[in-house]
């Protein structure tokens, strides 16, 4: 298959047999759980100090390179095994970043952030199921807002050496919208095994970014 965006797929561009809705959603859940489990193992078994000692430039290049490779793999492939491999190329570098971030917070705050992230994710999936047309309409605005926030944060960090906390709330709202959109479109494309893996990969990125921002907000609240 050509480099079609996974969520532009229809019956003519999706290969592989279709599966039942229950199995499709189960695969999405299992793939998500696999990613979270890998992140847990990284946090549990790799000392954050060993990650912090890596040259920041090399770490950043490796992080971006692995993520872009993984995203290109699961977006361009119609083979679920290749898509799953690409998913892992995204999960592992995210795990290293999560390790560095959670090391800065009390474990109780981390647990609370996980719980809140789970509840928000479930609620946004429900909204995505009920109002798919709404999320399709706002995706353009969400993308523009996300790029704007990224640029603003880069300017603040590298030029002004500061960070405004309100931006974390903005990013939470943006990724809430992305979760609703990604869940809505995941259930609007053909229910194949490969599409389930690809959908889980996109949702994973949304959920992890949501968790990081919620953790930051809760961390400031408890300081």
Mean pLDDT of the chain: 92
Q: In angstroms, rounded to a whole number, what is the distance separating the alpha carbons of residues 112 and 198?
A: 28
Q: Considering only 14-28, 39-53, 169-183, which range has the smallest mean pLDDT?
A: 14-28
> Which pLDDT does position 126 carry in this prediction?
98
Whether the pLDDT of residue 7 is over 70: the answer is: no
> Which pLDDT does position 111 carry in this prediction?
97
Please, which pLDDT band fits residue 6 given cuts at 50, 70 and 90?
low
Whether the pLDDT of residue 118 is over 70: the answer is: yes
Whether the pLDDT of residue 150 is over 70: the answer is: yes
Q: Which residues pair with 18 in a beta bridge?
A: 192
Q: In angstroms, rounded to a whole number, what is the distance separating the alpha carbons of residues 221 and 223?
A: 6
Tallying the residues shown for the chain, one arrives at: 223
Please, which pLDDT band fits residue 112 given cuts at 50, 70 and 90?
very high
Please, which pLDDT band fits residue 160 given cuts at 50, 70 and 90?
confident
* Beta strand extents in the chain (DSSP E only): none
Q: What are phi and psi of 186, to 5 degrees?
A: -60, -35
Q: What is the mean pLDDT of residues 154-174?
A: 87
Whether the pLDDT of residue 79 is over 50: the answer is: yes
Whether the pLDDT of residue 159 is over 90: the answer is: no
């Amino acid at each position: 298959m050509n480099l079609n965006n996974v969520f532009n797929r229809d019956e003519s561009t999706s290969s592989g047999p279709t599966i039942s809705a229950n199995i499709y959603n189960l695969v999405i859940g299992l793939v998500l759980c696999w990613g979270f489990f890998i992140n847990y193992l990284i946090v549990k078994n790799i000392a954050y100090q060993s990650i912090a000692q890596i040259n920041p430039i090399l770490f950043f290049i490796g992080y971006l390179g692995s993520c872009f490779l993984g995203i290109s793999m699961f977006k361009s492939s119609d083979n679920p095994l290749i898509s799953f491999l690409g998913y892992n190329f995204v999960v592992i570098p995210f795990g290293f970043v999560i390790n560095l971030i959670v090391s800065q917070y009390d474990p109780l705050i981390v647990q609370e952030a996980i719980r809140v992230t789970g509840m928000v994710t479930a609620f946004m999936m429900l909204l995505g199921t009920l109002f798919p047309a709404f999320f399709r309409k706002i995706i353009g605005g969400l993308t523009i807002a996300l790029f704007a926030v990224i640029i603003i944060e880069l300017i603040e960090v590298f030029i002004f050496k500061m960070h405004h906390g309100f931006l974390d709330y903005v990013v939470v709202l943006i990724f809430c919208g992305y979760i609703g959109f990604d869940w809505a479109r995941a259930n609007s494309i053909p229910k194949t095994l490969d599409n389930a893996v690809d959908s889980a990969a996109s949702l994973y990125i949304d959920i992890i970014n949501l968790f990081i921002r919620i953790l930051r907000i809760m961390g400031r609240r408890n300081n």
